[in-house]
Amino acid sequence: MAGVLVDSAEASALGTAAGLRRRRYLALVTGWVGFVAIWWLLSVWMDSDARLPSPGRVWDEVWIIFNGDPTNSRNDGGIFWNNFLASVIRVLLGFVVGVAMGTPLGFLMGRNRYWRAFLKSPVMIAGSIPGLTYAVMVLVVFGISFVGPVLAIGLISMPYIAINVAEGVGGVDKGLLNMSRSFGRSEKQMFRDVVVPSVLPFIFAGVRLSFSLAWKVGQLTEVFGASQGIGFQIRRNFQLFNMPAVIAWIGLFIIFMLVLERFVLVRIERKLFRWRQWEREG
Partner 1 sequence: MAKVTVSKLAKLFPPPIKGGDVVRAITNIDFEVDGNVFVSIVGPSGCGKSTLLNILSGVDTPTSGSVTVTEAGKPAKLGYVFQDARLLPWRSVMDNMMYVRDDASEESVANAAKYLSMVGLDHTHEMFPGQLSGGMQQRVGIARAFSVEPDLLLMDEPFSHLDAMTARSLRDHLQDLWSRTRKTVLFVTHDVMEAVQLSDRIIVLAPGGVIYDDISIDLPHPRKASDPKVATLQAEILGQFENMQIPAVE
How far is residue 66's CA from residue 232's CA, in Å, rounded to a whole number?
17
Measured from the CB atom, the residue of 93 and 190 that comes closer to partner 1 is 190
- Interacting residue with partner 1 among 7, 76, 187, 193 (CB under 8 A): 193
Query: Nearest 10 degrees: CA dihedral of 126, 129, 131, 136?
Result: -100
Residue 197 or residue 251: which is nearer to partner 1 going by CB? 197
Task: Give 48's strand partners.
Answer: 52
Q: How far is the CB of 118 from partner 1 (least distance, A)?
A: 25
N- to C-terminal Cα separation, the chain: 37
> Between 10 and 173, whose beta carbon lies closer to partner 1?
173
- With the CA atoms of 178, 180, 185 and 189 taken in that order, what torsion angle do they form, in degrees rounded to the nearest 10? -110
Query: Is the separation of the CB atoms in 77 and 68 below 8 Å?
Result: yes
Residue closer to partner 1 (CB basis): 23 or 192: 192
User: Which span (48-56, 94-102, 190-198, 253-261) binds partner 1, by CB under 8 A?
Assistant: 190-198
- Give the integer Cα–Cα distance in Å for 195 and 202: 11
Residues 147 to 176: which contact partner 1 by CB under 8 A? 175-176
Q: Which residues contact 217 (CB under 8 A, 6 or more apart)?
A: 131, 134, 135, 149, 152, 153, 156
Contact call for residue 113 and partner 1 (CB under 8 A) = no
Closest separation in Å from C-beta 203 to partner 1: 14
Helix (H/G/I), strand (E/B), else coil: 25? helix
Q: Any residues with CB less than 8 A from the CB of 53 and at least 6 apart, and which?
A: 43, 243, 244, 247
Within a 10 A sphere around the Cβ of 73, how many other Cβ atoms? 8
Nearer to partner 1, 180 or 228 (CB): 180
Nearer CB in complex with partner 1: 170/251: 170
How far apart are CB 190 and partner 1 at their closest, in Å? 10
Q: Does 188 bind partner 1 (CB under 8 A)?
A: no
Among 194, 205, 209, 257, binds partner 1 (CB under 8 A): 194
Q: Among 22, 181, 267, 270, which residue sits at the site for partner 1 (rule: CB under 8 A)? A: 181
For the CB of residue 116, give the shortest distance to partner 1 in the complex, in Å: 21
Nearest distance from C-beta of residue 182 to partner 1, angstroms: 4
Nearer to partner 1 among residue 205 and residue 260 (C-beta): 205
In the complex, least distance from residue 196 CB atom to partner 1, rounded to whole angstroms = 10
User: Which residues are registered as beta bridge partners of 52?
Assistant: 48
Q: Residue 136 carries which side chain, given as an amino acid letter?
A: V
Distance CA 41, CA 56 (A): 12
Closest separation between CB of residue 188 and partner 1, Å? Answer: 13
**Interface residues toward partner 1, by CB under 8 A:** 175-176, 178-185, 193-194, 197, 273-280
